Amino acid sequence: MSVHVPRLLVAGAQSGSGKTSLTLALVAALVRRGLKVQTFKVGPDFLDPTYLAIASGRPCYNLDGWMCGRAYVAALFARAAADADIAVIEGVMGLFDGARPDGPDGSTAQIACWLRAPVLLAVNVHGMARSIAALVAGYAGFEKGVAIGGVIANFCGSAGHADILRQALVAACQPALLGALPRNGLPEIPRRHLGLVSADPQTNCDTALLDRFADAAEAHMDMAGIIAMAAGAAPLTPATDPFHRTVSDAHPCLAVARDAAFHFYYPDLLEILESRGCAIRYFSPLLDHQVPVDADALYIGGGYPELYADQLAANGAMLESIRAFAGAGRPVYAECGGLIYLSRSLETLDGRRHRLAAVLPADTRMRRRKRHLGYVNVTLRRDTLWGKAGDTLRGHAFHYSELLNDPAEAPGWHHAYHLTGRSNPSGWLEGYGRGNVLASYVHLHWGGSDGVVERFVDSLKFKV
């Protein structure tokens, strides 16, 4: 039995093609037409999905070929889009850019091929005329299994310019022009050092903004042509659903930090934990005064603790609750921003130092230039919450902060991970553990790793 979900993938010819704004405009217009839209984002990005989730009214899921593998990507797509009228996938970087320069791993093209999704190629056409046909022809023929279904011209100079581009594509027998967005034709989305500012319906992504995006799509895109392109996607063979496995005998309660300071999570991973019998309780390190009383374990993800350092430091009751929880030997897992929060202090860019949880025996500091960006292979150096020594996982790291000292040099602490990446194939030691505390700059994605979920859930149930 096959699954037929109308779908399309918005890809950029290169970074800066405007695919995020174009995708948001398309989704807003489709929703306004009464369609149930399921959105996805290629790659490890936590920020673009916040906009797509608000625009669609549904969670946006990351599809990452390098971290998760084909079976997981296909199963997640099929599950999330099963009840949708149309699925819209936003690509990452340029269509063929990914984890390697010599292959498709981690690229938008890889996801397009796996999901048999027609590609709506966004091209920055500033200063371009007939050359658009050559560019599109090159992209269309570059990799087998990647089908360009249509072209969106972004940063178009005028209606006359759009007509030239349309004629060039027709004359060269290339995919049709399905939209031409003028310069400044889409609203601006605020940005900060990690990328876009996280979407918030109360501030920067409200109904009025979404209406402006939808208006732009209706005015400058061939919506009927785009919907027809999506409807023409070939049927998919369903994959094994990773969300339906045997529920663990353990039924722990995992307290997850989620507020303006901490909100970088892959929603499918939390859903998988719940499907294995793990209860999720959300709490706010900014606003609450203690860890949820029924919590067996803590998960503090990434985000922007540096923007809320004053408020986090001022919430002494929560900091003490975190310290007491960790001190009792209960499992605590922290990623990136969570690592900062567990540290003794954070020095922000203005030179001020803010005292934090002091679970991790180290201090942190923000820098103006990024300290790391890229995929990493993770090998466990000893048994942890995620598995046994020698087990491997995959993840991604992107941060502007740094540790001022190595926590593993403190008594009782150790390096839990050996990391390797394209920029450092010989690897380095990272991941900081003691007892049931584990903190790292790496955002793990363990959905495609066999046995990891069961190991994690079983390890969370604290025995007095």
Q: Say yes or no to pLDDT of 359 above 80.
A: yes
Q: Which residue ranges does the chain devote to CATH 3.40.50.300? A: 7-231
Query: In angstroms, rounded to a whole number, what is the distance separating the alpha carbons of residues 31 and 460?
Result: 40
- Name the band, by pLDDT with cuts 50, 70 and 90, for residue 463: very low
Over residues 138-166, mean pLDDT: 96
Q: Say yes or no to pLDDT of 203 above 60.
A: no
- Reading phi first (left if > 0) and then psi (alpha if -120 to 50, else beta), residue 39 is in beta
Collapsing DSSP states into helix, strand and coil, what is residue 459? helix
CA neighbours within 13 Å on the CB side: how many for 427? 14
Over residues 404-413, mean pLDDT: 96
Query: In angstroms, rounded to a whole number, what is the distance separating the alpha carbons of residues 250 and 461?
Result: 7
Instruction: Spell out the residues 6+ positions from residue 131 whose beta carbon is closer than 8 angstroms to its own.
Output: 168
- Per-residue confidence (pLDDT) for residue 205, from 0 to 100: 67
Q: What percent of the chain has pLDDT over 70?
A: 92
Amino acid of residue 332: V
Q: What is the pLDDT of residues 82-123, one digit of tens each?
A: 999 999 999 999 999 999 899 999 999 999 999 999 999 999
DSSP annotation of 124 reads: E
Choose the weakest-confidence range: 5-9, 157-161, 367-371, 427-431: 367-371
- Measured between its terminal Cα atoms, the distance across the chain in Å is 49
Over residues 174-193, mean pLDDT: 85
The two structure tokens encoding residue 181? 């967005």
Angle, in degrees to the nearest 10, between helices 48-56 and 207-220:
90
CA neighbours within 13 Å on the CB side: how many for 53? 16
Instruction: Spell out the residues 6+ positions from residue 139 whose beta carbon is closer than 8 angstroms to its own.
Output: 13, 95, 96, 121, 148
- Per-residue confidence (pLDDT) for residue 347, from 0 to 100: 96
Choose the weakest-confidence range: 163-172, 214-223, 231-240, 371-380: 231-240
- Per-residue confidence (pLDDT) for residue 454, from 0 to 100: 84
The two structure tokens encoding residue 99? 């984890």
Q: Say yes or no to pLDDT of 201 above 80.
A: no
Query: In angstroms, rounded to a whole number, what is the distance separating the alpha carbons of residues 336 and 306?
Result: 11
CB-neighbour burial class of residue 141 (10 A; exposed 0-12, middle 13-18, buried 19+): exposed
Cross-strand pairs, 376: 395
Handedness of CA 271, 273, 277, 280 (dihedral sign): negative
Collapsing DSSP states into helix, strand and coil, what is residue 145? coil
- Name the band, by pLDDT with cuts 50, 70 and 90, for residue 457: confident
Q: Which residue ranges does the chain devote to CATH 3.40.50.880? A: 253-460
Q: What CATH number is given for 253-460 in this structure?
A: 3.40.50.880
Query: In angstroms, rounded to a whole number, what is the distance separating the alpha carbons of residues 2 and 301?
Result: 37
Closest CA to 307 of 275, 260, 271: 260
Q: How do 443-444 and 392-399 pair as beta strands?
A: antiparallel
- Per-residue confidence (pLDDT) for residue 423, from 0 to 100: 83
Q: Which CATH superfamily is domain 7-231 in?
A: P-loop containing nucleotide triphosphate hydrolases (3.40.50.300)
- Per-residue confidence (pLDDT) for residue 1, from 0 to 100: 46
- Per-residue confidence (pLDDT) for residue 162, from 0 to 100: 97
Q: Which residue has the higher pLDDT, 456 or 87?
A: 87
Query: In angstroms, rounded to a whole number, what is the distance separating the alpha carbons of residues 337 and 335?
Result: 6
- Per-residue confidence (pLDDT) for residue 249, from 0 to 100: 61
Query: In angstroms, rounded to a whole number, what is the distance separating the alpha carbons of residues 78 and 380?
Result: 31
Instruction: Spell out the residues 6+ positions from residue 229 whose beta carbon is closer than 8 angstroms to its own.
Output: 8, 118, 120, 149, 150, 178
Give me the chain's average pLDDT, please: 92
Q: Say yes or no to pLDDT of 431 above 70.
A: yes
Catalytic residues: 336
Q: What is the pLDDT of residues 274-285, one digit of tens each?
A: 988 899 999 999
DSSP character string of 322-385: HHHHHHTT--EEEETHHHHHHSSEEE-TTS-EEE----SS-EEEE-SS-SEEEEEEEEESS-BT
Amino acid of residue 403: L
Please indicate, yes or no, whether the overall pTM of this predicted structure exceeds 0.85. Answer: yes
DSSP annotation of 261 reads: S
Tell me the helix, strand and coil percentages in the chain, rounded to 5.
Answer: 30, 30, 40
Q: How do 177-182 and 414-421 pair as beta strands?
A: unpaired
- Reading phi first (left if > 0) and then psi (alpha if -120 to 50, else beta), residue 389 is in beta
Q: What is the pLDDT of residues 296-343, one digit of tens each?
A: 999 999 999 999 999 999 999 999 999 999 999 999 999 999 999 999
Instruction: Let me know how long the chain is.
Output: 464
| Ordered strands of the 345-347 beta sheet | 353-355, 345-347, 363-366, 401-403
Q: Say yes or no to pLDDT of 366 above 60.
A: yes
Cross-strand pairs, 392: 379
**CA of 149: how far to CAs of 116, 167, 174, 210, in Å?**
11, 17, 9, 25
